[in-house]
A and B are shown apart, each in its own frame.
Chain A
Amino acid sequence: MGLNVEYVGRTYTAGAGMAPGVPVAPGAGVEPFLVGRQKVREFATAVGDTNPLSHDLDAARAAGYPDLVAPPTFAIILHFAAMDPAFADPGLGLDYSRLVHGTQEFHYRRPIVAGDALIAVATIEQIRARGGHDLLTVRADIEAAGEHVVTTRSVVIIRGIEQDSP
């Protein structure tokens, strides 16, 4: 077990401009991640998604949204931003180059739209060993203006030194 199991239950908060490796109390003085229209378009383009709701403001508004609608996996940006301080924390003992993404869940209350000012709070839910690898489960609760938007959960695999198949 390379990971420090005492880190289960720790929380990390992500908005914008976070210093890596510096834990912050949930919601305390964090500048939110402001979702820009161009970021929504850029992300949609990167996953080949040409849906007009993610690119065309008139189309999004005609469908009843206040602004461009982000693709469902957009929340991973916030999820990873919230995990980054944990990953960079030397006390956790995580080797980033041996990290492989295992499982990912998104549970939406509503879609992320451009203009959202998002705060993500990540919680280390579980650390366990399996087959020579370490498995790290992290949940992120993502909200805008105090309102829940989406909860994400990932299991990442830290591949053991001895075993080189993921």
Chain B
Amino acid sequence: MTSAVPDMAPDQPEGGPPGGPPAPPLWAEVALGQVLPQQSHRVTRATLVRYAGASGDFNVIHWSSRIAQSVGLPDVIAHGMLTLALAGRIVTDWVGDPGRVVELTGRMTAPVVVPDDDLGVILDVSAEVTEKRADRLVRVAIQARVGDLRVLGRADAVLRLG
């Protein structure tokens, strides 16, 4: 590890080339069961509209209460892929480089219902290292909840560390 870059944000890991990403965690220094820094993400209707446009997923259940309820949902729900993308940030932020994600998997076990207000819902994400493999790979299990409700099952990522 090199010394910290002077103008780097204090909460980022030190090292890495100037202008490049922070150095990833070192495989040799990562412990089984190690817990990653937790994250929380606010999801509002505006988040869904932005994600619909960026992803091209315009399924009407993600923006129309009327249609969502007509097919038996409580209200508009978030795109499952938005939930997985937000949950996945716990690992990409940890390794500092999306290119170090070798696998990402998630099962959308409960819909994230998003009310039509300014507060929306909060997605709480936690993760821990569950496997160390050869070739500097680790597997990280990811938990995502809205309140006490688990919204992802069997979510995990395989990452290539430094």
Interface residues of A (CB under 8 A from B): 39, 42-43, 45-49, 51-54, 58-59, 62-63, 65, 69-73, 76-77, 80-81, 96-108, 110-111, 159, 164-166
| A-chain residues with CB within 8 Å of residue B41 when the two chains form the complex | 48
| A-chain residues with CB within 8 Å of residue B17 when the two chains form the complex | 62-63
Nearest Cβ on chain B to A48's Cβ, whole angstroms: 6
CB-contact partner of B99 in A39, A53, A102, A106, under 8 A: A53
Question: Is A108 a contact of B105 with CB atoms below 8 Å?
Answer: no
Beyond the given A72-B104, A100-B108, please list 17 additional residue pairs across the A-B interface where CB-CB is below 8 A. Answer: A46-B47, A46-B50, A49-B89, A51-B96, A59-B21, A97-B59, A97-B67, A97-B70, A97-B71, A99-B59, A101-B79, A105-B104, A106-B101, A106-B104, A159-B71, A159-B72, A164-B73
| A-chain residues with CB within 8 Å of residue B157 when the two chains form the complex | 72
Once A46-B53, A47-B82 are accepted as A-B contacts, the answer to whether A62 and B20 lie under 8 Å apart by CB is yes
Complex-state Cα separation, A38 to B54, whole angstroms:
10
Main secondary structure of the interface of A (DSSP, over half): mixed
Complex-state Cα separation, A4 to B108, whole angstroms:
24
Nearest Cβ on chain A to B155's Cβ, whole angstroms: 10
Complex-state Cα separation, A130 to B112, whole angstroms:
22
